[in-house]
Amino acid sequence: MKIVQESLGHVSSTFTRDTYTSVYPEVAATAAEQTAALITTPA
């Protein structure tokens, strides 16, 4: 986050985080499902 903040010239990483980390509920659910599949699938 700090690298993104500095690259974009934001004053704080809090501003960067609040601006760029919000996601749509559907996207968050899909990401959670895909992550769970990676964790629970045998290698």
pLDDT of 19 reads 83
Query: Against a cut of 0.75, is the pTM above it?
Result: no
pLDDT of 43 reads 63
For residue 21, the 8-state DSSP code is -
What is the total count of domains within the chain?
Answer: 1
Single out the residue of 10, 9, 39 nearest to residue 31, CA to CA.
39
Six-digit token string for 30: 């899909």
Q: Which residue range(s) make up the domain with 30?
A: 3-40
**The residue to which tokens 């980390």 are assigned:** 21
pLDDT of 9 reads 94
pLDDT in tens, the chain (43 residues): 898 899 999 999 999 888 887 777 888 888 889 999 988 867 6
